[in-house]
């Protein structure tokens, strides 16, 4: 077993501070809902769409997407093969690094895709007594700003700042809202900058740079997926403005229609090995 894919960080907030060891203690709790019994070290590679990180690539060189690019994966007739279980959902976006010497991530051609620092639906108890859950996933980005690649077709709805500009310690900072052609809304938070600010996006596009703006203590991408329905529209889900300082932690009843980016009923393509 190699080094853990988890690192240590602490979120800073003037009202609540929670130590986040990136859930190493939870990872050691084998058999929990978020971690299987077989291993404690996880690999993530967007080309492989690992089922909620519950699948360890064993052996590591097994890659059903070897030699395929993101555009082919998102639009082509691929037959998926898994050693143990179905592949599930396309997370939509991920940071990547062209420096293959870094210790984290999973190599694919000349890119190394981001590692996970925080899973979806993980509970944490804050200093104020609240026990909230994480409503997205966090991708670490090697403590620097790196490009974020799209794996879906969609349209950029909004590129804006969320939180207090006077104190760079609240809200989501630079954030993007993207409506996927699959009907889902994608929120990307804590960005350093925007590479695309309007119009259409497609697989393999670099859309933004990862950052640490807003309520963040390290370079990473916080990604949420939402399915608007009924009266719960995009406008009511994310009311843009400085007075609405968003957070990636909510009580279970406030999770509303946020979906696990690794395990959702998407509308991409269905293959014999699962869905992407």
Beta bridge partners of 38: none
In a domain, 3, yes or no: no
* Domain-located, residue 2: no
Asked, for residue 150, whether it belongs to a domain, the answer is: yes
Helix residue ranges per DSSP H, the chain? 24-28, 70-75, 234-237
- pLDDT tens-place values along the chain, 276 residues long: 233 222 223 223 333 222 223 333 333 343 444 433 333 333 333 333 333 333 333 333 334 445 555 555 554 433 343 333 344 556 788 888 888 777 665 555 567 777 777 777 776 666 667 777 778 888 888 889 999 988 878 899 889 888 776 656 678 889 998 988 777 889 999 999 999 999 999 877 899 999 999 888 889 999 998 876 555 455 555 554 445 566 665 666 555 667 767 655 443 332 223 332
Domain total for the chain? Answer: 1
Domain membership of residue 202 (yes or no) is yes
Residue 1 belongs to a domain:
no
Q: 123 with 249: CB under 8 angstroms?
A: no
Among 245, 161, 247, 176, residue whose Cα is nearest residue 208: 176
19-37 in b/e form (b: 16+ CB < 10 A) is ebebbeebbeeeeeebbbe
CATH code at position 115: 2.70.70.10
* Model pTM score: 0.62
Give the range of the structural domain holding residue 224, as residue numbers without chain letter. Answer: 9-275
* Within-domain flag for 18: yes
25: which DSSP letter? H
């Amino acid at each position: 077993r190699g080094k853990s894919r988890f690192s240590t960080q602490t979120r800073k907030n003037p009202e609540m501070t929670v130590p986040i060891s990136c859930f190493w203690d939870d990872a050691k709790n084998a058999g929990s809902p978020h971690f299987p019994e077989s291993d404690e070290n996880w690999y993530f590679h967007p080309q492989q769409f690992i089922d909620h990180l519950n699948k360890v690539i064993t052996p590591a060189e097994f890659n059903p997407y070897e030699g395929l690019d993101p555009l082919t994966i998102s639009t082509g007739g691929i037959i998926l093969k898994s050693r143990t279980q179905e592949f599930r959902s396309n997370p939509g976006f991920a940071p990547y690094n062209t420096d293959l010497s870094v210790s984290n991530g999973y190599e694919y051609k000349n890119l190394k895709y981001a590692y996970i620092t925080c899973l979806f639906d993980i509970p944490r108890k804050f200093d104020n007594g609240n026990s909230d859950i994480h409503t997205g996933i966090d991708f670490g980005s090697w403590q620097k700003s790196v490009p974020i690649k799209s794996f879906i077709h969609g349209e950029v709805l909004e590129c804006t700042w969320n939180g207090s500009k006077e104190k760079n310690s609240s809200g989501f900072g630079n954030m993007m809202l993207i409506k996927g052609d699959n009907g889902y809304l994608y929120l990307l938070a804590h960005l350093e900058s925007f590479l695309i600010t309007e119009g259409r996006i497609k697989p393999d596009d670099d859309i933004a740079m990862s950052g640490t703006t807003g309520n963040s203590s390290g370079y990473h991408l916080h990604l949420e997926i939402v399915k608007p329905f009924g009266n719960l529209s995009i406008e009511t889900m994310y009311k843009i403005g400085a007075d609405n300082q968003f957070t990636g932690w909510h009580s279970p009843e406030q999770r509303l229609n946020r979906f696990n980016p690794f395990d959702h009923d998407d509308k991409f393509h269905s293959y014999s090995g699962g869905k992407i």
